Amino acid sequence: MTPKTAWILYDFANSAFATTVMAGFFPLFFKQYWHGGAPVDSTFQLGLVNAAASGLILVTAPLLGAIADQGRLHKRLLAGFALLGICATFALALLQAGMATYALLCFGLGLVGFSGANIFYDSLLMEVAAPAEYERVSSLGFALGYLGGGLLFALNVAMTLEPHWFGLASSEQAVHLAFASVAMWWLVFTLPLLWKVDERPCRRLSLSLVGDAWRQVARTLGHVRAHRPAFLFLVAYWFYIDGVDTIVRMAVDYGLAIGLGWKGLIAALLLVQFVGFPAAVAYGRLGEWIGAKRAILLGLAVYVGVTAFAARLDSATEFYALAILIGLVQGGVQALSRAYYAHLIPKAMAAEFFGFYNMLGKFAAVLGPLLVGVTGRLAGDPRAGIFSIVALFLIGGAVLLRVRPQVVAS
């Protein structure tokens, strides 16, 4: 196995957590099995934990990334965070009904492990591929992530819908097994990276290493702020990608809160997976035709319409329709955002600038889950909470309109 293949397989590994745990079964199981209280209360608590975990990583990511750069500790830190996520996910399989506090703690630790490991995963690309290969190798990782997350999620959905096919007594037992399967999947497909990907020898840890890391963070932030188009875009991106990620994380919880059946909600998530991959390719063509910025704004308009309608929906059929619409634009908005940003930044500082871009993209969902949880609780209605996400898309779109690529220095 080559180092490139080993690196790509980590995307195959950790995407199982994103689909089966983060987007799918945890919101469902937390509300119906571990919590059992008022829907607005469980939504508030789920939103709070999502926001807290994402916020913690967002605040610490620049420093952790700089320490990894200075000390050449990327693989060691990835292993540590991944192990935290794997253990927390396996612990979910051991929790019994009513253990809401422990479930939230394990889920929060799983999110920190998942997001923290991604800080160092991206940077290891430069250890396994030549600059001319970055796009191809990175794209293969992205594609294999869709495949890995989708395959295990489909198996876990089948196991939950028809537990007797697998010799299981109930759907509850199947969900417990699903959490354990994610932990094992994540562990097994992480091992090739730890085994095959080499990293330059690390520096001895010292206080000077931390000081060097802080200075690197300050320099990069100064460079980003000095390029107004790129800085404005990052502000816009922070808002609208937070909305995109919030919908992914909170959709199942919201559907349950308004009384939709859990089987239909899980099937809708599978639908997004199957629609999203080819739609992302087609949306890229649309971006070439009308321009990336216009295509992103079109996608945000779709998100505004979907979110506003979601606040009124009352049937599984309508939920399926919204899932298809989200699948059509989700991957496209993400892909074209990266392409548009590449046109705004100076080529000589691409690594620095994309470091901040990746940080915002991977550690979004801070404002959104908190907004959904607090608004829903104050209003006493989860529909008000989901409608509040519209503000993130509107603010992001408004700031994006102010971005003028033509003023960027070469």
Query: Tens of pLDDT along 194-218?
Result: 988 876 665 555 556 666 666 766 7
Whether the per-residue pLDDT at 239 is higher than 80: the answer is yes
Contact 327, 271 (CB under 8 A): yes
| The pLDDT value given to residue 407 | 44
Domain topology for 1-196: Growth Hormone; Chain: A; (1.20.1250)
CA-wise closest residue to 370 among 271, 255, 192, 243: 243
Percent of the chain, pLDDT > 70?
84
Report pTM: 0.75
Rounded alpha-carbon distances, angstroms, from residue 377 to 30, 252, 365: 17, 17, 18
- Architecture of the domain whose range is 223-410: Up-down Bundle (1.20)
Rounded distance between C-alpha atoms, residue 381 and residue 373, angstroms: 10
- 1-196 and 223-410: identical CATH topology: yes
Who wins on pLDDT, 129 or 303? 303
The token pair that represents 281 in the structure block: 């390719």
Whether the per-residue pLDDT at 125 is higher than 80: the answer is no
**Taking residues 334-347, what's their average pLDDT?**
77
CA-wise closest residue to 361 among 234, 269, 275, 273: 234
Q: What is the sign of the dihedral through the CA atoms of 317, 318, 319 and 320?
A: positive
CA-wise closest residue to 159 among 175, 180, 148: 175
Contact 31, 175 (CB under 8 A): no
3-state secondary structure of 260: coil
CA-wise closest residue to 137 among 266, 8, 10: 8
Residues 158-204 pLDDT 10s: 998 889 998 998 888 999 999 999 999 999 999 999 988 876 665 55
| The pLDDT value given to residue 17 | 94
**Taking residues 322-340, what's their average pLDDT?**
80
CB burial of residue 306 (10 Å; 0-12, 13-18, 19+): buried
Contact 238, 364 (CB under 8 A): yes
Q: Kindly list the domain boundaries of the chain, sorted by start residue.
A: 1-196, 223-410
Whether the per-residue pLDDT at 273 is higher than 50: the answer is yes
Whether the per-residue pLDDT at 322 is higher than 90: the answer is no
> End-to-end alpha-carbon separation of the chain, Å?
40
CB burial of residue 21 (10 Å; 0-12, 13-18, 19+): buried
